[in-house]
Amino acid sequence: MKMFTMALMAMMTAATAQADQRVIDGMGGGSFHWAFPIVLGVVEDGQPVRLSGRFTSAGTFMLYAVDQLPGSCIEPDAFFDFHEPQRPASALFGCAPFGMNHPQRDLALEHVHRWYNEPLTEWFLRVIAGDSAECSYTTLRGYQMAEFGYPVCE
């Protein structure tokens, strides 16, 4: 009976924790200047978040909120699309990465990866930034974010 009571209390605690989370169901593309003030507002609010849905390009900054807000997590089936930082011209042309030798490329990369935790930053610089400027996306699922130390929802 004691085990049953302890299990029931654990389930009630988990349900309460989930009810206290702010669910954020995806964030599309955009720019650092658009997305990051939204993320900072979420962090300033202080309520734990549960990320679900698709987080494309600038939406991946929401990982910063998960990292900063205890009790936050990522749904296992959420999507995160990562790509090279883009020049402002991408708003017109759809894809306009900085060239490898463009003077603003390193600054743009820093604007992106500095908000990720260290394991994700290392991956981003190795896999996404790599040694060529491309327009492709690399998608990671929510459950894969555990490999980088982000909490995945039960």
pLDDT-derived band of residue 94, with 50, 70 and 90 as boundaries? low
Confirm whether 43 is domain-assigned: yes
**Rounded mean pLDDT, 123-130:** 80
Residue 68: give the domain boundaries: 31-148
Whether the pLDDT of residue 152 is over 50: the answer is yes
Confirm whether 23 is domain-assigned: no
Residue with more model confidence, 37 or 71: 71
Confirm whether 139 is domain-assigned: yes
Whether the pLDDT of residue 83 is over 60: the answer is yes
Confirm whether 3 is domain-assigned: no
Confirm whether 5 is domain-assigned: no
Total tally of structural domains belonging to the chain: 1
| Residue 13, pLDDT score | 31
Confirm whether 18 is domain-assigned: no
Check: CB of residue 70 under 8 Å from CB of residue 48.
yes
Residue with more model confidence, 85 or 11: 85
pLDDT in tens, 14-56: 333 455 899 999 887 666 667 778 888 999 999 999 999 998 8
Confirm whether 8 is domain-assigned: no
Confirm whether 137 is domain-assigned: yes
| Residue 1, pLDDT score | 38
pLDDT, the chain, mean: 75
Whether the pLDDT of residue 99 is over 70: the answer is no
Composition of the chain by helix, strand, coil, percent to 5: 50, 20, 35
- Beta-strand ranges (E) seen in the chain are 22-27, 49-56, 73-74, 79-82, 138-141
Does the predicted model carry a pTM greater than 0.85? no
Residue 153: which of 82, 35, 53 has the closest Cα?
A: 53
| Residue 98, pLDDT score | 57
